[in-house]
Amino acid sequence: MEAKVRYLSDLRFNIETWKRELRFHLNEMDTFQEKLEEIVQRHEDPMVLIKLEVFQNRIMIEKNAISKLLHRCRNKIANINNANFNENIDGRLQNEQRTLKDDMRTYIKLHYDLKEEMMDYFLDVL
């Protein structure tokens, strides 16, 4: 039972850390959106504006992905709070956490790829 409590505590820590990171990325996307709005006011070059629109669309997609991941994190926390302490540690909770972990790993990679592209774009147009 003690191992189960420790495992659930570790699992909760991971999920809470992911939630903080996702909220940070959400705020970061808002900041990038503000910077894109500044660029719209400064530039009339169609190529600059086309790329800008692509980034705006990608920000909306990213914010949607963040929202879905945050929802999944909240659901995982609810599952932890309602965990059956007689359930095997290698059971449902561990398998559910693995898929979220893989999805978070993929999301984080895509986020930093987008961030790098946007920073390059900002350097080019500002």
Residue 90, pLDDT score: 53
Pair of tokens at residue 51: 């790329």
Residue 32, pLDDT score: 97
The residues, ordered by sequence, that sit 6+ positions from 65 with a Cβ below 8 Å of its Cβ are 107
Q: What residue spans define the domains of the chain?
A: 22-125
CA 49 – CA 41 distance, rounded (Å) = 10
Residue 93, pLDDT score: 55
pLDDT in tens, 47-80: 999 999 999 999 999 999 999 999 999 999 998 8
CA 112 – CA 39 distance, rounded (Å) = 21
Residue 1, pLDDT score: 62
Residue 10, pLDDT score: 86
pLDDT < 50: residue spans in the chain? none
State the alpha helices, DSSP H only, in 1-126. 2-42, 46-81, 92-125
Is this model's pTM higher than 0.75 or not? yes
Residue 124, pLDDT score: 94
Residue 26, pLDDT score: 97
